Amino acid sequence: MSAVDTLAEPAPSTTPTLREGAFGHATGLACRECGHQIALGPHYACPECFGPLEIAYDFPAITREEIEAGPANIWRYKALLPVPTDIEQSPNMEPGYTRLLKAHNLGAQLGIDNLWVKDDSTNPTNSFKDRVVACALSAAREFGSKVFACPSTGNLANAVAAAGARAGIKTVVFIPSNLEKPKQVNSAVYTESLVAVNGNYDDVNKLASEIAGEEDGWAFVNVNVRPYYAEGSKTLGYEIAEQLGWRLPDQIVIPVASGSQLTKVDKAFGELIKLGLVEDKPYKVFGAQATGCSPVSVAFKGGTNVVRPVKPDTIAKSLAIGNPADGPYVLDICRRTGGAVEDITDDEVREGILLLARTEGIFTETAGGTTVGVLKKLVDTGQLDPTLETVVINTGMGLKTLDAISDQVGPAATIEPSYDAFAATGLA
């Protein structure tokens, strides 16, 4: 159980009056543990058992053509999200519909026949977090929240600060004070209220839950509006299937911090099957962690359902959540689908960054280095079948974590501006 899961949710002081269709086809909030349902509201914990809540829907019949006729962003899937049909009218970052690239060179290097990279580094603030934040922003608007906030390992803070600026809503974002400088700057340019907390992410998260209980009208995207926020990650799954020609991949490798993204990609695949938008077929889900923060991988390998919290110590700071809210669900999914959760050392994370850059021209951050490095380890250890169609998700951008590899790359030579000097380098 995570910090979010175990904290009793404070009783809301007011129940917001919702406008008709504020949450599209969402019908309520359902407990993932006991199934208890409550009305839509800014809630995240089950009043019966404190289990995490998620959105329940009554989906309409929807066709591939209707989706394809939509905008080139996540709102093409708005009928499957907890957002109103007029969502495009409200200023937002319009994230998503990022590239799915055939990774010929990386595939050849790793011995995988049919490999794709879903490149989410091209989102507006350069990580997949723009997707989840867009859904959280819609919820915050519908609930009439006056402050848009988050505890973050970095990327989420960037996405919340930017989306809040564009929407004209006050933002306050909380980060661990030892975060990479580029991620701090990437939040501070958009908001005057970046708060650096002396502690790790789990401390920041606990503080956010406390503030959410004390302050009225604050939407903490990954705390009290987490059920709405989390649904945004489903769009990664929808896009991958659509971009493959309305087909599910055989295997997918996804980084794990809180584990929310992995669980929602799986949820998306399941929904597409149920809605008849893709053929029902088996697929395997693999989770990627850095060894210095690998509570889910340790539990997977230990054959247990209990995710023991750890104190993170890794260069993959965006994945440094020691007490992951969705850890047990990640274990369920990876076991049910026949996948695995694996972890790699920080040196292997750096190698993963360079491998993706030098084979596919994609500069990923440490989270992507972790995912690519784990993909390699899964092949090397025989856990992933290299003959099956595989997708690896790149969730972030390398310019935000330059320090991770700046000691390893640089000029091959520094020369005077003459041909002779260049010739002497042997680089011709």
Ligand X SMILES: Cc1ncc(COP(=O)(O)O)c(C=O)c1O
Binding site for Zn ion (CB under 5 A): 31, 33-34, 36, 46, 48-49, 51
- Contact present, 77 and 67 (Cβ < 8 Å): yes
Instruction: Give residue 104's Cα distance to chain centre.
Output: 25
Give CA–CA dist 399/181, Å, rounded.
11
Per CB under 6 A, 155 contacts ligand X? yes
Contacting range for ligand X; rule: CB under 6 A; set: 13-21, 26-34, 86-94, 256-264: 256-264
Q: How far are the Cα atoms of 115, 321, 353, 371 from residue 347, in angstroms, in the given order?
A: 23, 19, 10, 13
Per CB under 6 A, 259 contacts ligand X? yes
Q: Residue 147 Cβ, how far from ligand X at the closest point, in Å?
A: 21
Among 367, 372, 378, 384, binds ligand X (CB under 6 A): 367
Contacting range for ligand X; rule: CB under 6 A; set: 190-198, 205-213, 255-263, 271-279: 255-263
Phi, psi of 29 (to 5 degrees): -110, 125
Instruction: Report the side by side order of strands in the sheet with 99-102.
Output: 99-102, 115-119, 390-394, 251-255, 284-290, 340-344
Give CA–CA dist 25/82, Å, rounded.
7
Contacting range for ligand X; rule: CB under 6 A; set: 86-94, 102-110, 163-171, 249-257: 249-257
C-beta atoms surrounding 167 within 10 Å = 18
Question: Looking at beta carbons only, is 41 or 164 nearer to Zn ion?
Answer: 41
Using alpha carbons, select from 261, 249, 339, 341 the residue that is nearest to residue 294: 341
Q: Which residue is nearest to ligand X (CB)?
A: 396
Using alpha carbons, select from 228, 224, 73 the residue that is nearest to residue 137: 228
Q: Residue 274 Cβ, how far from Zn ion at the closest point, in Å?
A: 23
By CB under 6 A, what part of segment 337-366 binds ligand X? 365
Using alpha carbons, select from 368, 300, 372 the residue that is nearest to residue 338: 300
Q: Residue 287 Cβ, how far from ligand X at the closest point, in Å?
A: 9
Question: Looking at beta carbons only, is 209 or 260 nearer to ligand X?
Answer: 260
Phi, psi of 326 (to 5 degrees): -105, 15
Among 80, 169, 256, 355, binds ligand X (CB under 6 A): 256
- Quick note: the x/- pattern for ligand X over 122-151, rule CB under 6 A, is -----x-x----------------------
Phi, psi of 57 (to 5 degrees): -130, 160
Question: Looking at beta carbons only, is 319 or 362 nearer to ligand X?
Answer: 319
Per CB under 6 A, 158 contacts ligand X? no
Contacting range for ligand X; rule: CB under 6 A; set: 135-143, 251-259, 296-304, 402-410: 251-259
Q: Which residues bind ligand X (CB under 6 A)?
A: 127, 129, 153, 155, 255-261, 318-319, 365, 367, 395-396
